[in-house]
Structure 1
């Protein structure tokens, strides 16, 4: 079973309101065995156009678990805090098996 990676490029438009999401989301991710590999930090765009100012990469044990996290009651309860206070894009990508 391949790991799966949630990749987000986000621009926060309302930092105070977004903080509600930011404070709660780590617990929902950890509950599904996910872990942050990237959460913000300095980025240099080498090619193309970035979809947001803030980069996030979360590793999950599998695609099924990542999808279960995204659709979980706990995550759906806070999702509007992100959607209403930021713009950007998320992608779920299967990991590479050696």
Structure 2
């Protein structure tokens, strides 16, 4: 079952965050991850959530998503993101086909 990492990012250092954006795509490849949403315009339809930069990643399953997030390959990018932004991140499984 596909799994999705949904991220809301509040960027504090836009210049250095650009480096994070360059590092991340290559880290996804070994885990078959891909961007579904990568910072496009977001509009609140209900509630009081005002998102920052929204990113949605798709993986073949939750195991690969978690393996990517905790991988040595993603670690340098993750450290840079954590230094330049505040992040809310969840992992959610998709629906069965």
Q: Flag whether TM exceeds 0.5 (same fold).
A: yes
Secondary structure, counterpart of 1:74 in structure 2: coil
| Structure 2 unaligned spans of 5+ | none
| Structure 1 unaligned spans of 5+ | none
TM-score between both structures, scaled by the size of structure 1: 0.91
TM-score between both structures, scaled by the size of structure 2: 0.92
- Whether contact under 8 Å (1:41, 1:55) holds in the other structure is yes
1:60 is matched with 59
User: Aligned pairs, how many?
Assistant: 97
RMSD: 1.3
2:17 is matched with 18
1:43 & 1:17 partners in 2: Cα distance?
23
